[in-house]
Amino acid sequence: MPYSEEFKDHVANPRNVGNFDDANRFGEETNPACGDTLKLFLKVSEGMINRAGFLAYGCPATIACGSAITELITNQTIEDALAIDRQMISAKVGGLPSRKNHAAALAIETLHHALTRADLSIRLAVEAKQLSR
């Protein structure tokens, strides 16, 4: 499957690159199989994600999914952000080849890492949700 125009646009013109001054949440995950790394920086206040930024090293899918997730979560509640799934990220980049689905999974793991490690109640909620699946 060739990459979509949206996908290539996220790679060539990534949105929300990098850290910023008032970021108060940080998440980082590495795919152990290929070494791809994603970092997310968030500004969270009163249950809302006001701003998001990312850094990525790895294949284009990792970059595109990192860029896409920052767009998906900006101005969302934490609850809505935690509900983002792989299909939503894939749709945001105009579709992912199936062998690249792991990049969407990495973006979600990184987001969960950023949102949950500073807030025990959210982490417990995520774990409860994972258990219920």
Residue 27 makes contact with another protein by CB under 8 A: no
Give the angle 61-65-70 at the CA atoms, nearest 5°. Answer: 155
Q: What is the token pair recorded at 50? A: 């006001």
Binding test (CB under 8 A) with another protein, winner from 25, 42, 58, 110 = 58
Per CB under 8 A, 3 contacts another protein: yes
Burial category of 38 from C-beta neighbours within 10 Å (exposed 0-12, middle 13-18, buried 19 and up): buried
| Window of 52-60, 73-81, 88-96, 118-126 that interacts with another protein by CB under 8 A | 52-60
Residues 102 and 87: their CA atoms lie apart, in Å, by 12
Q: Is 41 in the site for another protein (CB under 8 A)?
A: no
Residues in the site for another protein, rule: CB under 8 A?
Answer: 3, 8, 11-12, 14, 17-18, 28, 33-35, 37, 39, 54-61, 63, 66, 99
